[in-house]
Structure 1
């Protein structure tokens, strides 16, 4: 039987390579619950057992893990926590890790672990079905679902013709007090990392300070932003595309006052990011972990992400059935190597400096 474990609070310390990841970073999906233990798995080296550190929450991923077990015959134990917390823990554990597989909410944490040499190179047959733009440059992690950064807006309060062309427009007087954002959210932090990579440290810092000075409203997560915009409590919000599509599927798009705006012209506000998966270099569970990766890229798993989470499937030949969802390739996203989003620690330090976290 699969075990569900919660990573103990406070495991990351100042001695970690990524200390601020654990201290400040959080995923909008949150950490799942379960029975806690010391994280040890006596069968970690066996070919038919696998310990997964999941930065995606239990409610989302557990049904898919059940399908994975059925398809592969592998017995799985899952530890749920935020992506940043898991990344810091893997750094701390190093060669002594009990994890065989890491499922990450975003590419930044995977890039950081790759840079530290803590991930195992994946065989070509597990990579070839995914575009090179959506996997690690060292071939040691691969994207399993995609998401786009968007601006959600209340169409009763904002005319389509008045929507901004760039995130930089949101710091002007026209948008004073009208913008919602979630600075402790992992996806926002990855977006800021991309902004640093694309436009440089100084301009990224200035944008953050200007956003604050423009009385932007702070929320804990994307769900709260979506509700606030739809209810008319705030005009626009920075979020991920799938929150709106999930709400529309439940309530009907015709019943929502909110709509999505994709920034044009390769603006950083239209960043395309991925959730990804990697086999750890020292977990001793390579065979089982590779089976899991293969399954997560299978048509069944890719359709699950497309239908249940409203994310973009990334494996070749699988398309999203979500109505009116723009094709992934049609989004005018900025050109950025996702592996270069590994400097989350610097991003969090910047967010601390400007007083956002």
Structure 2
């Protein structure tokens, strides 16, 4: 039953091999002192990685791609990998490499900069920034946004919800629901959600914009897209508002981007400097102020207006490393007719 999906994933993973990109002086991976496989979008993090090259003190090459694809690529390459550092969009891909024993143990001093909830239990990866799943809503169409994603299967929301089923953040949310509530409950929720005829979009920004235009009343997105749009256009022009879900709801998942040092790349010294740079005050302020994410290092706070403190959120308690079972989630989404 899983072979068609496995073949599709293998094709996607293989495609990542064809998409290398470099940062800094256009250095080739074979000549770089540090090679980073980055699941984070180039437009989002390139300015930061330019500064990272200076901080590490060696030439840096970056290969960009989807986090899941790059994690699979590292697994395939094994001890012959070119990667010294894996910079992941989400915790699940890091958890997958940790489970395979492909990440180096990080120094305790680096780990201690971040709350244990946002780093790997084996001490081989650490979160660099956080994002929260929220409900976007159109205030002219919604008097009060739901407090749980379980309400989204109710008839009143039929045809009124936007989501991005192929987006890694939505898939991480589904994986989180599987961890929190079990596969049977998640499968039932997906069936009810699909039956409510949600409208699929390519990404979170398109979902948010659709809510703002009134194409849909609700949208499942990450918090920072709304804050980016507000900074760009002003709240009045964004149209949509966002609601942080209470009560440990699975729809309030706090996921992290993070890093791990890759075994086999023989770049440990440079990779360690890169980890420490990404946990530095300069980098954490970049995440806080430029990407509108949550900084994770103690002592660094966001200056984004009206962003609730991370400590005030009622997020579900979950081991983020357990978000690694992406293939099972994709199979479930395929069975539900969503991907």
Asked if Structure 1 and Structure 2 have the same fold, meaning a TM-score greater than 0.5 normalized by the shorter chain, the answer is yes
Distance 1:19 1:297 in 2: 37
Distance 2:278 2:19 in 1: 20
SS of the equivalent of 1:250 reads helix
SS of the equivalent of 1:210 reads helix
User: Which ranges of structure 2 fall in alignment gaps of 5 or more residues?
Assistant: none
SS of the equivalent of 2:69 reads helix
Structure 1 position 42 matched with structure 2 position 30 = yes
SS of the equivalent of 1:84 reads helix
The CA deviation at 1:23 is: 5.4
What is the aligned residue count? 329
The CA deviation at 1:252 is: 1.0
Distance 1:72 1:258 in 2: 41
Report the counterpart of residue 199 of structure 2 in structure 1.
217
Judged with a 3 Å threshold, the aligned counterparts in structure 2 of structure 1 residues 23 and 147 are, in CA distance, closer, same or farther, namely: farther
Judged with a 3 Å threshold, the aligned counterparts in structure 2 of structure 1 residues 348 and 58 are, in CA distance, closer, same or farther, namely: same
Q: Which residue, 341, 352, 355 being the options, matches 2:323?
A: 341
Judged with a 3 Å threshold, the aligned counterparts in structure 2 of structure 1 residues 229 and 15 are, in CA distance, closer, same or farther, namely: closer
The CA deviation at 1:19 is: 6.3
Structure 1 position 58 matched with structure 2 position 42 = yes
Distance 2:37 2:239 in 1: 38
Report the counterpart of residue 193 of structure 1 in structure 2.
175
Structure 1 position 134 matched with structure 2 position 122 = no
Report the counterpart of residue 68 of structure 1 in structure 2.
52
Judged with a 3 Å threshold, the aligned counterparts in structure 2 of structure 1 residues 314 and 23 are, in CA distance, closer, same or farther, namely: farther
Report the counterpart of residue 230 of structure 2 in structure 1.
248
SS of the equivalent of 1:77 reads strand
Judged with a 3 Å threshold, the aligned counterparts in structure 2 of structure 1 residues 304 and 21 are, in CA distance, closer, same or farther, namely: farther
Report the counterpart of residue 114 of structure 1 in structure 2.
98
Report the counterpart of residue 6 of structure 1 in structure 2.
none
Distance 1:298 1:74 in 2: 18
Q: Which residue, 242, 254, 261 being the options, matches 1:272?
A: 254
SS of the equivalent of 1:309 reads coil
Distance 2:256 2:56 in 1: 24
Q: Which residue, 131, 134, 139 being the options, matches 1:150?
A: 134
| Greater helix fraction, Structure 1 or Structure 2 | 2
Runs of 4+ in 1 over 2 A off after TM superposition: 18-25, 31-35, 39-44
User: Which ranges of structure 1 fall in alignment gaps of 5 or more residues?
Assistant: 1-13, 26-30
Judged with a 3 Å threshold, the aligned counterparts in structure 2 of structure 1 residues 214 and 119 are, in CA distance, closer, same or farther, namely: same
Structure 1 position 204 matched with structure 2 position 192 = no
Structure 1 position 329 matched with structure 2 position 317 = no
Distance 1:139 1:21 in 2: 28
The CA deviation at 1:340 is: 1.3
Structure 1 position 293 matched with structure 2 position 293 = no
Report the counterpart of residue 4 of structure 1 in structure 2.
none
1:208-236 residue CA offsets vs partner (Å, 9 max, x unmatched): 11111011111111011011001111101
Distance 2:45 2:246 in 1: 32
Distance 1:271 1:15 in 2: 30
Distance 2:11 2:314 in 1: 33
The RMSD of aligned alpha carbons is: 2.1
User: TM-score, with normalisation over the residues of structure 1?
Assistant: 0.88
Alignment of 1:222-241 (within 5 A): 222-241=204-223
